[in-house]
Amino acid sequence: RDKAFAEGHERAGLLVDVENPGAEHLYHTLGFERVETRSLFGHRQWHLQALNRQETSVETTV
């Protein structure tokens, strides 16, 4: 995720088997959120994504 964001990507995604809730929890702590369920080789997978939410600081002068 950090490498993808450093390279200018807006999001990072991955698949986690629905039978592995521990992995989903781990990725959730890293900023990934479940966006949909997919099937891959007959196994249901959660598609997780993390968005690059870096905010640009804007300086104002008075």
For 23-62, write each residue's pLDDT tens digit: 999 999 999 999 999 999 999 999 999 998 764 444 445 4
Question: Which whole number is the average pLDDT over 8-34?
Answer: 94
What CA–CA distance (Å, rounded) separates 61 from 20? Answer: 51
Confidence band for 5, pLDDT divided at 50, 70 and 90: confident
Q: Given this model, what pLDDT does residue 58 score?
A: 47
Q: Given this model, what pLDDT does residue 57 score?
A: 41
This prediction's pTM: 0.74
DSSP state of 20: -
Q: Which residues contact 6 (CB under 8 A, 6 or more apart)?
A: none
